[in-house]
Every structure is written in C-alpha cells, then in structure tokens.
Amino acid sequence: MNGYSFELITGPMSCGKTEELLRRIRRCEIAKKKIKIFSPAIDTRERGDYIKSRNGLAANAIKIEHSIQILHHVKPNDEIIAIDELQFFDSDIIKVITFLMNNGKKVIGSGLELDFKSEPFGHMPELMCIATRVDKLHAVCMKCGSEHATRTQRLINGKPADKSSPLIMIGGDEAYEARCIKCYELPDKNAVKTKKFSSMSLKLQDLVLR
C-alpha cells in the first residue's frame, strides 16, 4: 500500500488486465484508502463512466481526453490513482504519472502492450520503463489452447487481418483474440507483392547458363 510507486499490469487482449486492476482497486477500498479511477474517453467498449472487466467486475471511473486532466481531478489527500487502458493515452501520461509518484501517490495502471501488428502500443514502452513493478499476464490462446498467449490477433471476417489493413475498419466483421506466438499470424500482402515483382539488379554480362 506504499505510495511513491507505479504498478503496471500488461499483456494481450483477454489476459485479465482490467480484472487484476479491479482486484487491486478493491483491496485499496477495503483498506479504506482514498482512490481515484480514470480511463480514456477513447475506450469504445464502455460508454458509461466506469471500467468493467470481461468477468463482470466494475468500478466508477472518470473519463479522460488528455492525460493532464488527471491532475485536475486528483486531490492532495488522494492516495491511490488507478488508470485503465493506458495504451490509449497521449505522451503526457509519462510526466503525469511521474509527477504523481514523486508526490507520494501509488499509481496502478493497466494497458495492452502490443497492437495487432505486434508492435508496441502507444506509450506502453516508456510506461513499462518508469513503472516500479510490471506484471505481464498471459491469456489462453484461442487457436491451440496454450495458456501462454502473449499476442493480440486481429480478425476481419474471421480471417487474420493483413498488416496493411486500416486501423479503423468500415464495414466487415472485426474481432480480436489472444494467441500464442506459434499461432499468431500477420499476413503482409504488400510484402509478398514486392518480393514477387522486385528486380534483383541483374547485369546482362553476369548471366550464365549452368
């Protein structure tokens, strides 16, 4: 329960990040700590002013559009600051969390570490560096059942999405599922095309029949 800390919970889709965040929030409530909970306004999963895990746990949360707004809500006597979906916050979130830590607060956050292309999501890399504790949770692979899924597979109409697929899909049935590294697929149609048609800069005089 000590302040001056930042605990970060991360992992792929469906690994129980928000559930773990809510579990820690609940413990702080039992300990009668003063707590403020935030989530980004961009999170389309929940429209209401609360955060909710897939297993039905929930807590009231203040929706934030810019990181700096967190500081408008935190009062000097607040002890715990919980933040969900950290991958969606702007770069000022690093300074905001550092400021809160330096001022004796305990920050608990959760966020998706990789996007569907398996590339670092938003400012999660910097957040993982400044955190005083990082917990990486694993999900169950939706393809083979392995309990070590660390990747988030994007599916469009049931098929693995192409690397060049637009960030926001218009039409089409889009979904995400957790997968282990072995089952994770990222087709890159453009790369195949480039390989097939690219020149090898051959010189006529170097060609020979064997």
Count of residues that bind Zn ion according to CB under 5 A: 6
Least separation in angstroms between CB 119 and Zn ion = 20
Residue 82 CB neighbours (<10 A)? 23
Of positions 33, 63, 66, 143, contacts Zn ion by CB under 5 A: 143
Of positions 42, 144, 191, 192, contacts Zn ion by CB under 5 A: 144
Residue of 7, 85, 113, 177 marked catalytic: 85
Extended beta strands in the chain, E state: 5-11, 35-40, 50-52, 58-60, 62-64, 80-83, 106-112, 133-136, 151-156, 159-160, 174-179
- Footprint on residues 166-185 left by Zn ion (CB under 5 A): 180, 183
Least separation in angstroms between CB 182 and Zn ion = 5
Of 27-35, 79-87, 89-97, 133-141, the window that binds Zn ion (rule: CB under 5 A) is: 133-141
What distance, in Å, lies between the first and last C-alpha atoms of the chain?
Answer: 74
In the residue annotation, 29 being an active-site residue is answered as no
Contacts of 130 (CB under 8 A, 6+ apart): 6, 94, 97, 98, 101
Whichever of 147 and 173 has its CB closer to Zn ion, that residue is 147
CB 185 within 8 A of CB 142: no
Of 115, 85, 113, nearest to 186 by C-alpha is: 115
Of 15-23, 47-55, 139-147, 156-164, the window that binds Zn ion (rule: CB under 5 A) is: 139-147
Of positions 53, 67, 110, 146, contacts Zn ion by CB under 5 A: 146
Least separation in angstroms between CB 116 and Zn ion = 16
CB 185 within 8 A of CB 159: no
Catalytic residue set: 85
The residue ranges that bind Zn ion (CB under 5 A) are 141, 143-144, 146, 180, 183
